[in-house]
Amino acid sequence: MTPLKSIKIAYSVALLCFWGCKETPKASQGAKNTVGVPIQYAKGFTMEKSGPDITVLKITSPWPNAESKFTYALVPKDRLSTITLDKNAYDAIIGTPISNLVVTSTTHIPALESLGVLDKLIGFPDTKYISSKYARDLIDAGKIQELGNNESLNTEMVLELRPELVVGFSINAQNKTYNTLEQANIPVVYNGDWTEESPLGKAEWIKFFAPFFGKEHEAEQIFSKIAQDYHNAVNIAKTAETAPSVISGAMYKDVWYLPGGESWAAKFIHDANADYLWADTPGTGSLSLSWESVLEKGKNADFWIAPAQYTSYMELTNASEHYAQFDALQNRKIFTFSKTKGATGGVLYYELAPQRPDLVLKDLIHIFHPHLLPDHELFFFTPLE
* 45 and 176 part of one domain: yes
**Gap between the Cα atoms of 124 and 91, Å rounded:** 23
279 and 202 inside one domain = no
Rounded-to-integer distance, Cα 369 and Cα 240, Å: 7
Instruction: For residues 52 and 184, state if they share a domain.
Output: yes
Model-level pTM? 0.89
- Categorise residue 306: left if φ over 0, alpha if ψ from -120 to 50, beta otherwise: left
Domain boundary (228, 256, 277) is at 228
Decide if 6 is inside a domain.
no
Instruction: Determine, yes or no, domain membership for 48.
Output: yes
228, 253, 282: which is the final residue of a domain?
Answer: 228
- Is residue 121 within 8 A of residue 145, CB to CB? The reply is no
CA distances from 272 to 19, 258, 364, 365 (A): 13, 18, 6, 5
Q: What is the pLDDT of residue 65?
A: 85
Per-residue pLDDT of the chain (385 residues; tens, 9 = 90+): 444 333 333 444 444 444 433 333 343 444 445 667 889 999 999 999 987 789 999 999 998 888 889 999 999 999 888 888 888 899 999 999 999 999 999 999 999 999 999 999 999 999 999 999 999 999 999 999 999 876 678 999 999 999 999 999 888 877 888 999 999 999 999 999 999 989 999 999 999 999 999 999 999 999 999 999 999 999 999 999 999 999 999 999 889 999 999 999 999 999 999 999 999 999 888 999 999 999 999 999 999 999 999 999 999 999 999 999 999 999 999 999 999 999 999 999 999 999 999 999 999 999 999 999 999 999 999 999 9
Please tell me whether residues 85 and 134 are part of one structural domain.
yes
CATH code of the domain containing 197? 3.40.50.1980
* Residues 185, 334 share a domain: no
Q: How far apart are CA 351 and CA 329, in angstroms?
A: 28
User: Does residue 12 sit within a domain?
Assistant: no
Has residue 260 been placed in a domain?
A: yes
Residues 308 and 223 in one domain: no
What local confidence, expressed as pLDDT, does residue 35 receive?
A: 67
Residues 260, 283: Cα–Cα separation, whole Å: 5
Domain count for the chain, please give it: 2
Structural domain contains residue 331? yes
Distance in angstroms (rounded) separating the CA atoms of residues 102 and 100: 7
> In this structure, is residue 15 part of a structural domain?
no
Cβ neighbours around 278 below 10 Å, total: 23
Q: Are 156 and 260 found together in one domain?
A: no
Q: What is the pLDDT of residue 34?
A: 61
Q: Mark whether 257 and 167 lie in a shared domain.
A: no
By residue count, the chain amounts to: 385
Among 172, 207, 228, residue at a domain's last position: 228
- Residue 274 neighbours by CB under 8 Å, 6+ apart: 243, 244, 245, 246, 303, 364, 368
Identify the bridge partners of residue 274 per DSSP, sorted by sequence position.
none
Same domain, 173 and 307: no
279 and 170 in a common domain: no
**Model pLDDT, residue 151:** 65
Check whether residue 252 and residue 128 sit in a common domain. no
Q: Return d(Cα 354, Cα 202) in angstroms, integer.
A: 6
Contact 361, 230 (CB under 8 A): yes
Name the 3-class secondary structure at 249: coil
* 82: Cα within 13 Å, side-chain hemisphere: 6
Report yes or no on 10 lying in a domain. no
pLDDT of residue 185: 94
Residues 238 and 324 reside in one and the same domain: yes
Question: Containing domain of residue 160, as a range?
Answer: 20-228
pLDDT of residue 351: 97
Does 5 reside within a domain?
A: no
